[in-house]
Amino acid sequence: MTMADNVAITAGSGTTIGTDERSINSTNVQVQRVVDQGSSNIANGHVAVTNTATTIIAARDTRKRAVIVNYQTVSIYIGVSTVTTSNGFRLDPGASITLYTTVLIQGITAAAYTAAGEDDKTHYVEEYDS
């Protein structure tokens, strides 16, 4: 089955949805064209991650991406609300990661950690739409 490149829909005064044809698993399919042009808002902050699961960034349905930088002097392990040092993604001191997700992001350290100032914390910035 072939679908036209542009399909007219009625949404108020009318809109057109653009699609491209791609081969996925040897089958030609139509996929919607999406252009990521950034977000209308950002939020940023600093969190001291300890040996108890700590929320770095709360869940946000309209988040486009989040960047986390570990400025702590120990590795942190990041993941969802069940994060542990065994199942988390290890982020060494000075390393960063960009995540394209809307879920809660938590972190944990392998041993007790006491932050001493803003430079000894995990920093984040997230882009999101209103």
Tens of pLDDT, residue by residue over 45-86, are 999 999 999 999 999 999 999 999 999 999 999 999 999 999
Query: Residue 104's closest CA among 46, 58, 65, 45?
Result: 58
The confidence band for 28, taking pLDDT boundaries of 50, 70 and 90, is: confident
Cα separation, 100 vs 35, in Å, equals 15
Tens of pLDDT, residue by residue over 79-124, are 999 999 999 999 999 999 999 999 999 999 998 887 777 677 999 9
Contact 53, 83 (CB under 8 A): yes
22-44: average pLDDT: 80
Give the three-state DSSP class for 119. Answer: helix
Domain-wise residue ranges, the chain: 1-34, 41-128
Q: Which fold has domain 41-128?
A: Jelly Rolls (2.60.120)
Tens of pLDDT, residue by residue over 5-27, are 666 666 666 566 677 777 888 88
